[in-house]
Amino acid sequence: MSLKLYNSLSSKKEVFKSISDKKVKTYGCGPTVYNYPHLGNFRTFVFYDLLNRVLQLNGFETETAVNITDIDDKIIDRVNQENASLKEITSKYELSFLELSKSLKILPNNHNPRATEYVEEMIEFIKALINQDLAYEINGNIFFDTEAYPKYGKFVNISDDLKTEDNELSKKNRNDFTLWKAKKDSDGDIFWNSDWGKGRPGWHTECAVMIKTLFDGRLDIHCGGIDLKFPHHENESAQIEAIQKHNLSNYWLHAEHLNINDEKMSKSLGNFIDVSTLIQKNGSDVVRLFLLSAHYRTKVSFSQKKLDECKKMVEKIKRFAKNFNIDSKNIELKFSSEHKLFIDALNDDLNTPGAIGVFFSFISEINKKIAENSISDVDKEKSLVFLKLFNSIFDILDFNNLHDQNIPSELQDLLVSRQEARENLDWKLSDSIREKIETLGWQVEDTSSGQNLSKKK
């Protein structure tokens, strides 16, 4: 099956066709670094990683960018609250984003551009818009004139009663948006000099200019959370397309919200889950699988029950993998019909639940053969290939550490029973199983990534 992606421009799945045969260029809107990123943010960032890996699985070379928004009203508020410098605030939270991305096995991007590094380019870009009568100045603020760009409204019907921005700034039209914000007293020393006076670029212009500078204003795929479709992506594309007369991006992909208590998870609502704490309690492999277990265009409600289900899935995959001597470097990926079903699911608009279902059906079939002692060399080869294929997308297995210890099946069963006892808060049963494990010459330690079994010294 050819790769199909749901394009927000057409509101339907389309066969993916790249601009270049050799390379696919993608841009995803990254974090605003005024606070630690929460789990809802990382649902979107892991989605970017999924797209990148599936593109590579289909033989594409990828060039990816996820920006760092390091100038914004919320950042200035945090600077004032903590009496710190802009760099102190943004560096701390950018580092957190990068460390958590690494922990969750998100492949490094080719570019992580910071908005503050492109302000001079933004000023020149705004000048070009003004010179083409696409923007105007009022009291040191520069606005994009949506009435001067007839194609404005690609994602929404602008005749609807839409929420608009900066209504207090005397702009000409209700849908006009800010390209440059004049300095306010509360901005302190956070400003740049321009032809219109002191100020700073607007959010929509930041992303537009970084895309124009890095990719000459032309992408294969632009990604983001569903809440960015309007106005952010609308306003990004309007600026670039008004100047360059061709599409900013051929495909626009948007991930749905992660909810908690039936509301979108967000810092402003105060209902967010701290990613670092969640990883410490459950392990990064469990959190990553949770974030990939639902289709990216499906709203998901967070619950510990779902995390626990993912933990059991991870344990089952690891137990299955331990049946085989895996050297990931030497596994040649020759795909059989079972493998192609898995790939077909991913190529159907990144259908991760379907792909996981195919993989677990395969595990169940092979486990029956292992139990019956009827597994063939062909089955073993298919299993090795499937484990490598699965991990190229979901990346929850560390092949190098699967066989550090030869753990008897009896002990593996005891570990599973003990985990179930702990999940049911049956501490008495959990302790008795621990004692039985110790009588067999082993000891178990509870860690952030699960139970750690080692031989007694």
Residues 246 and 370 in one domain: no
In a domain, 285, yes or no: no
Q: Residue 175, exposed/middle/buried by CB under 10 A (0-12, 13-18, 19+)?
A: buried
- Number of helices and strands (H, E) in the chain? 14, 16
Residues 227 and 332 in one domain: no
Q: Of 199, 234, 264, which residue sits at a domain end?
A: 264
Number of domains in the chain: 2
Q: What is the pLDDT of residues 39-97, one digit of tens each?
A: 999 999 999 999 999 999 999 999 999 999 999 999 999 999 999 999 999 999 999 99
Radius of gyration of the chain (CA): 25
Q: What is the pLDDT of residues 235-272, one digit of tens each?
A: 999 999 999 988 999 999 999 999 887 677 666 666 67
Mean confidence (pLDDT) of the chain: 91
- At residue 331, the pLDDT reads 59
Residues 365 and 419 in one domain: yes
In a domain, 296, yes or no: no
- At residue 39, the pLDDT reads 93
Q: What share of the chain has pLDDT > 90, as a percent?
A: 71
How many other CB atoms are there within 10 angstroms of residue 345's CB atom? 20
287 compared with 419, residue with greater pLDDT? 287
Check whether 214 has a pLDDT greater than 90. Answer: yes
Q: What average pLDDT does this structure show over 2-18?
A: 97
What's the CATH code of the domain at 340? 1.20.120.640
Q: What is the pLDDT of residues 24-47, one digit of tens each?
A: 999 999 999 999 999 999 999 999
Q: What letter does residue 190 receive in the DSSP assignment? A: -
User: Whole-angstrom Cα distance, residue 72 to residue 456?
Assistant: 55
Q: What average pLDDT does this structure show over 415-421?
A: 81
In a domain, 409, yes or no: yes
223 forms bridges with which residues in the sheet? Answer: 28, 253
Residues 208 and 341 in one domain: no
Confidence of residue 443 (pLDDT cuts 50, 70, 90): confident
Residues 351 and 429 in one domain: yes
Check whether 161 has a pLDDT greater than 90. Answer: no
Q: Nearest CA to 107 among 394, 313, 353?
A: 394
Residues 222 and 345 in one domain: no
pTM: 0.86
Residues 57 and 119 in one domain: yes
Residues 153 and 77 in one domain: yes
- At residue 447, the pLDDT reads 57
For the record, the structure tokens of 339 come out as 């493998």
In a domain, 124, yes or no: yes
User: Whole-angstrom Cα distance, residue 281 to residue 299?
Assistant: 24
Residues 193 and 312 in one domain: no
Range of the domain at 340: 304-455
> How much of the chain is helix, strand and coil, in % rounded to 5?
50, 20, 35
Q: What letter does residue 111 receive in the DSSP assignment? A: B
- At residue 441, the pLDDT reads 81
